[in-house]
Structure 1
């Protein structure tokens, strides 16, 4: 089943004083796909993820999430779509600072699942990511690596159709980096699609489809 599709997408953005375009990108992503997008810093990898997540407007082209043309959605409809269909792993923490780690996960579940909360799923992810003893902590009390793992847990908590992972292994030691990649692989086997931006070739090789951005153009490796 198709999860998202880009048709001839272009976007110009600035990195400092440099103008960097993404040019005429077309991409189809289906359930079970695990895509990696590689390339040096500043080449547009994260920008492309923000576009796919509906967080940046396009200069040209079309973005579809499942069968919905994102350009035709209201802000409220787009927010609902993101909450129900997409899990984001950003480099910056998107945890709510006034809530504990467990409360963050419960809040994410209730928004997506109409008030329902699956404590077994929360406990499973916290255990896998070595955070069980930190579930009562506020985000500012966690280390950088713990916050990173907490963001992964929040992204995966509702088994989203599409997972957008921006350098998900940053700040993690080998053990937990491998665990995060395993969780992403398991998500694809359960029917999710994963698009992962990474500069780490070892983890990129775990994807079943590899791309790179070269001079603003998305190329298959």
Structure 2
């Protein structure tokens, strides 16, 4: 039986700062590790060749049992990357995922076609990359978008320490929009970074493989430190 779940909008509106985990693989043990560590939200992937984790994610039908089991155990918002190319993303998947209890999707703006932007099965979150200018971000509020994921770190800087220039860049986006901002851990984040991210006006961090590793043990240990520091 599916748990009654909190939407992403509700989470970001009602909590000062949220911790979401982007799982490196669609596995129940990894999701349970994040849940046991006190995470606020989860994110999975389908139809993606994932650069950071080195994994190739298949279609939704390959993971139906796992997704159902996670929804039965977790009442926080669950999101998903629907694909890494516009051609891989389709509305039929949003209908299937809604039935499985998913709350939101996450896609780069350049991968969102009209049908996906107009569908109402899943909440919309939009990722912007390092080529996206902060003066463009104000336009996003004219569409039905719940949050913006700031995936603005250049490829060569993946896994490096978060520094003040990064924080200033996040703040420059905050100055241009009042939509919730989510920062993915393209940099190797440490719990102390949360203080600076809050000052930059960020609403949530999305911890991925660069920060949490790819085992149940590393996910539980790392996420626990972040959630304890966020209380």
TM-score scaled by length of structure 1: 0.36
Query: Greater relative contact order: 1 or 2 (C-alpha under 8 angstroms, separation 6 or more)?
Result: 1
Which structure is larger by alpha-carbon Rg, 1 or 2?
1
TM-score scaled by length of structure 2: 0.35
- Structure number with the higher helix fraction is 2
- Structure number with the higher strand fraction is 1
